[in-house]
Structure 1
Amino acid sequence: MKAAVFHGPGDVRIEEVPEPTAAAGEVKLRVLACSMCGTDLKIFRSGHFRISPPRVMGHEIAGEIVEVGAGVTGWAPGDRVQVIAAIPDGTCEECARGHQTVCLNQESMGYQYEGGFAEFMVVPHSVLAVDGMNRIPDGVGADEASVTEPLACVLNGQELAGVGAGDVVAVFGAGPIGCLHVRLARSRGASRIIMIEVNRERLRLAADLVHPDDTVCAEDGDIIEQVRKLTDGRGADVVITATAAGAAQEQALQIAAPRARISFFGGLPKDKPTITLDSNLVHYRELTIVGANGSSPAHNARALHLIATGEVPVKDLISVRLPLDRVLEALDIVAKGEAIKVTIEP
């Protein structure tokens, strides 16, 4: 079968690899859709300490069951399913406390296990053991279901930041994650949403799809002053940095209203992980800063429900669909920011 195999930084190849079979406790899928995210681009460019090449990439997975291993119950060939990316062990102290997103022994599809940029793949027992495979409801396309995982991460971030009714929410970043944050904040009752971006064309592309109440572009002047003007000097109740930029995290504190919650959603580059934080802003405004690390199996189940009910539409965010043998082209599109969401459909 064909697969996109990571061999090292800058080296991803479309290769013929052996087609897997489902061992006891496993399920084999025909991959129907596997969406691409910024993490895939980071892996392609720089590798990842948790990935030992060669490894099939791809972790935003939707497929159809073609084989069920011995001992697996409740699933049958023909079932369409969505698969979690981050796999908690379900037994460590953090998992026991209900904190599966920071599991001490977390594994991931496309990292320790072969991913979804392939014609077929195996869902390991570790995924099934934590209820990490969800049945795709009728009426939901596999392409939409493949966006469940990033939406689940966004859901985790907004729950941690307490996004709710009446909030003014500012989102840094107009990529796919920023768009999902806008749509989810709207569904959670935010009264006003401001999308902030440094690239005017990318901001226009995103805003035309997800319709924030206001947009702020760095090309138009100081971001902080623009947001203050839009909010009559008060700032935003929730600020989400859906971008890997330290400057955005620093600016987030400047546009935060008193008692605001700030989500450092996007991780920073490993060679530039620090920022200058004005501690007095946190102190005097009584700000709360939270991180957000992936999603749990429960977040995935809830995110798929949000897609299925139409509370968070995602289909129109998928602006490019490419076959498996054009994965390198897809990575280039992501790198150039020429699409909101790119999905590989083997």
Structure 2
Amino acid sequence: MKMKAALMYGPNDVRVEMVDKPECPKDGLILKIMAVGLCGSDIRNLTSDSRKGDYPFIYGHEIVGVVDEIGPDETKYKVGDRLFLFPGTYCMECDECISGHSENCGNEHVAKLAGTGGFAQFVAVSGEKIKYGGIYEIPEGVSYDAASLGEPLTSVFACEENIGVGYNDTVVIIGAGPIGCFMTQLAKIRGAQKVIMIDINDTRLAMVKKFGADEVINSAKVDPIEAVRKLTDGKGADKVISANPSNSAQAQSIFMARKGGIVVFFGGVPKGSLTELDTNYIHYNNLWIKGHFGASYSQSKRAFQLAISDTFPTESFITHRLPLDKINEGIELTRTGEAIKVVLFPWEEA
């Protein structure tokens, strides 16, 4: 049987074609993909030589769907079950998992059991993935659209929990992309008094206001450090999160924090690039610098539960719903900043 899939043949070369449907693992299942989010990391991978010549390849990891087929040895799920397939998996036995940092699981084989393959109509889920977990059932009444955003929310949820964003905080977020918008909304839910968003795109700055941003700063037009200081009576923010791939943003971020404040490097910068930091300033102002990546097993599940709850307005983040055939249009909408979140539907016709 054939299925539709978006195959990457090289940088900026993504083609929607008919390929063989994957075979059902004996102890696993086939998930019929009903919706898949287009992530910033997907776009970075699709527009660079991410596979170092190993093409074609199917990306896509924000996967939700319905069980279409089960293997003879699969007993946990049944045909018709609606599932969210979290890309991370944790062994819960290595030093990292035992220490509470399962997001850094040291068992690379387990950690990569379900990482990609979502830009297609079907994906095979192995028995190993089912055994180790990271698959959550989607309750009836919850849309596939909303459930698909459970994955990008996880790291945001973990970051703000880890640094204790809460009542009366002033939080600066640098980067008004989908992650920055999630961070803004969640910070307000957690009780932050003021959220200041910084970006260079006026369209995105306008959009982020509906997610709770109290102040917005276009750093291409004004000095963002001076602007933050002015908005905080000269003190700086309690927490500053650099959620973008910019070395200069990281370098500037430390000067936006108050004495004793916390600065988080959330967005990864280009590999091999170095950020120049004024460590004397960090030292004398008692700043805490934290790198953030991923989410623990507990955090991933709680983030999914938040994404499908009435507390978090998940679907309002989706600005564009497109058939899989229009994946290149979705990539461009996201790159230009016109879209906050694009969700692709493999079974819709263009």
Give the superposition deviation at 1:35: 0.4
Matched residue, 1:252: 253
* Corresponding position: 1:27 with 2:29: yes
Q: Sort the Cα spacing of 1:109 and 1:93 in 2 relative to 1 into closer, same or farther, 3 A.
A: closer
Matched residue, 1:291: 291
Q: Sort the Cα spacing of 1:298 and 1:54 in 2 relative to 1 into closer, same or farther, 3 A.
A: farther
Secondary structure, counterpart of 1:17 in structure 2: strand
* Corresponding position: 1:202 with 2:218: no
Give the superposition deviation at 1:302: 0.8
TM-score (norm 2): 0.92
Larger CA deviation: 98-107 vs 311-320: 98-107
Matched residue, 1:336: 336
Give the superposition deviation at 1:51: 9.1
Give the superposition deviation at 1:114: 4.9
Q: Deviations over 1:119-160 (max 9, x none)?
A: 111123343223210011233210111111110011122122
* Corresponding position: 1:237 with 2:270: no
Residue type of the alignment partner of 1:339: A
CA contact (8 A) 2:203 2:337 kept: no
Q: Sort the Cα spacing of 1:298 and 1:309 in 2 relative to 1 into closer, same or farther, 3 A.
A: same
Residue type of the alignment partner of 2:332: D
Residue type of the alignment partner of 1:163: V
Matched residue, 1:184: 186
RMSD, aligned α-carbons: 2.1
CA distance in 1, matches of 2:115, 2:103: 18
CA contact (8 A) 1:261 1:289 kept: yes
CA distance in 1, matches of 2:184, 2:110: 27
Gaps of 5+ in 2: none
Residue type of the alignment partner of 1:327: I
CA distance in 2, matches of 1:5, 1:297: 30
Equivalent pairs counted in the alignment come to: 344
Matched residue, 2:280: 280
Q: Deviations over 1:301-329 (max 9, x none)?
A: 11121122222221011011111111111
Give the superposition deviation at 1:58: 0.3
CA distance in 2, matches of 1:111, 1:133: 12
Q: Percent identity?
A: 39
Matched residue, 1:322: 322
Matched residue, 1:268: 269
Give the superposition deviation at 1:164: 2.0
Give the superposition deviation at 1:60: 0.6
Matched residue, 2:80: 78
CA distance in 1, matches of 2:128, 2:295: 16
Give the superposition deviation at 1:109: 9.7
Give the superposition deviation at 1:206: 2.3
CA distance in 1, matches of 2:285, 2:293: 25
Q: Deviations over 1:200-231 (max 9, x none)?
A: 22211222x31311111124411111111111
Q: Deviations over 1:217-253 (max 9, x none)?
A: 1244111111111110111111111111111111110
Residue type of the alignment partner of 2:148: S
Give the superposition deviation at 1:193: 0.9
Q: Sort the Cα spacing of 1:107 and 1:339 in 2 relative to 1 into closer, same or farther, 3 A.
A: farther
TM-score (norm 1): 0.93
CA distance in 2, matches of 1:8, 1:72: 36
Q: Deviations over 1:244-268 (max 9, x none)?
A: 1111111110000111111100000
Matched residue, 2:305: 305
Gaps of 5+ in 1: none
